[in-house]
């Protein structure tokens, strides 16, 4: 695992940070392939994986899903080794807590035995993205002008502070969705390793992305036009800036086929789910009015999805294994007279490379068959709305007949 091989210096630095902060956490490592029984017991499905165990217990360890950097690892482990919410007893402690992060959630509860407080702490114990604090101090209530039990979101952007009551939120669901994402993200959020987990949390799953070089001459005006369109869509569409000059964003640029800098700036709207349905604007003048109309048309279901496709090769159907792309997939595969067996592959995938000669051999075996066709498609460079490809290689069989239904295999 390439990512695993990059970890040792980061883990060494994590140990130093934990020691500096006096965190009661010890760090160890385990080879999951050598100790496969333990990996199964603790539900390790990918590598690297990080688990935090409560003292003396091997039951239900916490899995860490955020960035694999020393500071982030140490911060998470330190927080999770302590109580689910920081107790705030004085105004000085309150100010220190509010200043501790760009986004914090402070629960104000007069009754320390209340059911709402218990629910608040249960949620805090399961939610990693935002630090939680709790207070019953009258002076802290007074400092922030709170008179009844409330949850207050403090943030270093937009309006700075947003208050909710448990009833306002539909409490348990509301803290996670409405509070942390709808009001916990800036109207316009930058895509960075720090914000990535929040962006793709699934709580606001429609994003409009501006791809631009933040150092370019025309960027300030472009940014203001984009930002001005954001407020009316809070909670419906998340506005995201992706700086094309940052190397860490190359993978996202590649996903949207925007690695050619000549095509920037660009705007894409995407629904973040298993299908990643994309929408491309017809305009190139990125004004607030145009962007607003584009977003509203999406919400009103007036926009047509965009699917990327390579050009159809001239000899695509003259080989034993037919070569499919986005532009010819539906017409060929959903022909009711044919049984079509398709391999969806990625050029970089080692498993796909091993399968390639086998698939070619299968194509030769069936090249003269009347109604069985063997085909393949580069699923990274071509998209098909009717087919979801979670990993590579993916093999799907499309049997002949009316109302064709897909049968899948990943074995």
pLDDT at 5 over 70: yes
Angle between helices 8-20 and 70-81 (to 10 degrees): 40
Q: Which of 4, 185, 187, 191 is catalytic?
A: 4
Instruction: For the chain, list the domains and their CATH numbers.
Output: 2-81 (3.40.30.10), 86-181 (3.40.30.10), 187-300 (3.40.30.10), 322-398 (3.40.30.10)
Return the number of other C-beta atoms located less than 10 Å from residue 278's C-beta: 18
295 classed as catalytic: no
What SS3 state is found at 269?
strand
d(CA 343, CA 363): 11
Q: Which of 1, 185, 189, 191 is catalytic?
A: 1
CA torsion through residues 129, 134, 138, 140, sign: negative
Q: Which of 185, 189, 191, 352 is catalytic?
A: 352
**For the stretch 246-262, what's the b/e string if a residue is b when 16 or more beta carbons lie within 10 angstroms of its beta carbon?**
beebeebbeebebeeee
Q: Express each pLDDT in 52-106 by its tens digit.
A: 998 888 888 888 877 788 888 898 888 888 888 999 999 999 999 999 887 788 9
Closest by CA to 28, choosing from 66, 65, 61, is 61
CB 388 within 8 A of CB 274: yes
Q: Express each pLDDT in 102-124 by its tens digit.
A: 778 899 999 989 888 888 888 88
What confidence score (pLDDT) does residue 4 get? Answer: 84
189 classed as catalytic: no
349 classed as catalytic: yes
Q: What angle do CA 292, 295, 298 make, to 5 degrees?
A: 150
Residue 21 vs residue 168, higher pLDDT? 21
1 classed as catalytic: yes
């Amino acid at each position: 695992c390439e990512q695993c091989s990059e970890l040792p210096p980061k883990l060494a630095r994590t140990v130093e940070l934990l020691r500096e902060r006096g965190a009661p956490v010890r760090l160890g490592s385990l080879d999951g392939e050598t100790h496969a029984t333990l990996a199964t017991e603790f539900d390790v499905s990918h590598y690297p994986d990080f688990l935090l165990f409560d003292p003396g217990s091997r039951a239900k360890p916490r899995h860490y899903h955020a960035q694999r950097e020393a500071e982030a690892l140490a911060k998470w482990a330190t927080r999770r080794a302590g109580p689910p919410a920081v107790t705030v007893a004085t105004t000085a402690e309150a100010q220190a807590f509010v200043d501790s992060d760009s986004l914090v959630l402070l629960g104000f509860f007069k009754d320390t035995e209340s059911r709402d407080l218990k629910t608040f702490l249960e949620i805090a114990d399961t939610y990693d993205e935002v630090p939680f604090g709790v207070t019953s101090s009258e002076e802290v209530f007074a400092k922030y002008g709170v008179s009844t039990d409330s949850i207050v979101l403090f943030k270093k952007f937009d309006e700075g502070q947003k208050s909710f009551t448990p009833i306002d939120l539909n409490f348990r669901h509301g803290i996670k969705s409405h509070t942390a994402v709808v009001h916990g993200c800036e109207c316009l959020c930058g895509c960075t390793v720090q914000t990535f987990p929040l962006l793709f949390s699934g709580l606001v799953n429609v994003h409009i992305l501006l791809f631009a070089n933040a150092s370019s001459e025309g960027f300030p005006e472009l940014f203001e036009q984009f930002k001005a369109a954001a407020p009316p869509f809070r909670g419906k569409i998340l506005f995201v800036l992706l700086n094309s000059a940052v190397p860490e964003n190359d993978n996202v640029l590649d996903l949207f086929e925007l690695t050619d800098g000549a095509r920037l700036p660009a705007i894409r709207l995407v629904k973040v789910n298993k299908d990643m349905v994309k929408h491309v604007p017809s305009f190139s003048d990125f004004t607030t009015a145009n962007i607003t109309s584009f977003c509203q048309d999406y919400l009103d279901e007036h926009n047509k999805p965009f699917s990327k496709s390579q050009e159809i090769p001239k000899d695509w159907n003259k080989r034993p294994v037919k070569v499919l792309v986005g532009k010819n997939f539906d017409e060929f595969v959903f022909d009711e007279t044919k049984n079509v067996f398709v391999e969806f592959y990625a050029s970089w995938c080692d498993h796909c490379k091993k399968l390639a000669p086998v698939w070619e051999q299968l194509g030769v075996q069936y090249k003269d068959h009347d109604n069985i066709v063997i085909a393949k498609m580069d699923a990274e460079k071509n998209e098909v709305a009717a087919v979801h490809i979670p990993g590579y290689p993916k093999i799907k069989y499309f049997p002949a007949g009316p109302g064709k239904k897909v049968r899948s295999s990943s074995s």
